[in-house]
């Protein structure tokens, strides 16, 4: 029997039901391969072990000959394959547990494969956003928080902008069609911020009737 790990969520990706008038504009997850390459650098790990294998064969071939030295590359390639498989598994688990949400009022990020948490970023707490797009159209949207908002880089990783340790910027990592999602976010934030906030106060002090 199948089991949904997030069946307790009243709305997928959100810890509670949306307030009246708030609508979901977009939801999505990171690409597994994109997350593995962009956050876990699996392609660099593969290249590292490939270079080690070539170097070992090249050094040994001067004494043993190329044919005899060729099998010496197998241990390096095997270890590299295992390392890449582990990184891909981590990326798969992270992508499966992640759900990014953009509503008419905020950005929400349900993240964490082992320890799940939901980060809510209302538009009035967002100072700006930076878009990074790759050739295939996928990319990352990094969010700069406003005011005194301080976030833990370790708790949010890998859903953060790289190399911004002092001022952690949460990020929608490795999402498909990132430019379109960025437009949705920009339009929603502009609409929300430009909307005037009207508060209603009830006078309970009472009124004295004039005689």
Average pLDDT over residues 158-183: 92
Tokens of 93: 């688990």
- In this prediction, residue 76 carries a pLDDT of 94
- In this prediction, residue 7 carries a pLDDT of 53
Crossing angle of helices 74-97 and 42-64, in 10° steps, is 180
Cβ burial, residue 171 (10 Å; 0-12/13-18/19+): buried
Q: Residue 208's pLDDT band (boundaries 50, 70, 90)?
A: very low
Average pLDDT over residues 122-126: 90
β partners of residue 102: 26, 107
pLDDT at 120 over 50: yes
User: By C-alpha distance, which of 175, 193, 191 is closest to 27?
Assistant: 175
For 197, other C-beta atoms within 10 Å of its C-beta total 5
For 187, other C-beta atoms within 10 Å of its C-beta total 13
Average pLDDT over residues 138-153: 87
pLDDT at 166 over 50: yes
User: By C-alpha distance, which of 85, 166, 164, 160 is closest to 121?
Assistant: 160
- In this prediction, residue 102 carries a pLDDT of 96
pLDDT at 211 over 70: no
User: By C-alpha distance, which of 74, 70, 80, 73 is closest to 48?
Assistant: 80
- In this prediction, residue 209 carries a pLDDT of 42
For 210, other C-beta atoms within 10 Å of its C-beta total 4
């Amino acid at each position: 029997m199948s089991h949904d790990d997030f069946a307790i969520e009243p709305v997928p990706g959100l810890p509670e039901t949306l307030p009246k008038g708030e609508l979901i504009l977009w939801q999505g997850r990171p690409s597994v391969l994109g997350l593995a390459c962009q956050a876990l650098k699996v392609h660099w790990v593969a290249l590292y072990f490939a270079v080690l294998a070539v170097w070992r064969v090249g050094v040994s071939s001067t004494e043993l000959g190329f044919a005899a030295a060729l099998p010496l590359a197998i241990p390096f390639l095997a270890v590299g394959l295992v390392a890449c498989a582990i990184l891909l598994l981590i990326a798969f688990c992270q992508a499966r547990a992640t759900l990014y949400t953009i509503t008419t009022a905020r950005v929400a990020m349900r993240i964490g494969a082992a320890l799940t948490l939901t980060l809510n970023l209302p538009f009035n707490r967002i100072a700006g956003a930076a878009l990074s797009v790759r050739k295939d159209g996928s990319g990352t949207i990094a969010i700069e928080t406003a005011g005194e908002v301080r976030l833990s880089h370790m708790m949010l990783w890998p859903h953060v902008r790289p190399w911004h340790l002092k001022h952690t910027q949460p990020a929608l990592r490795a999402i498909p069609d990132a430019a379109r999602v960025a437009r949705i976010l920009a339009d929603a934030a502009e609409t929300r911020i430009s909307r005037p906030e009207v508060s209603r106060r009830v006078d309970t002090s009472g009124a004295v009737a004039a005689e």
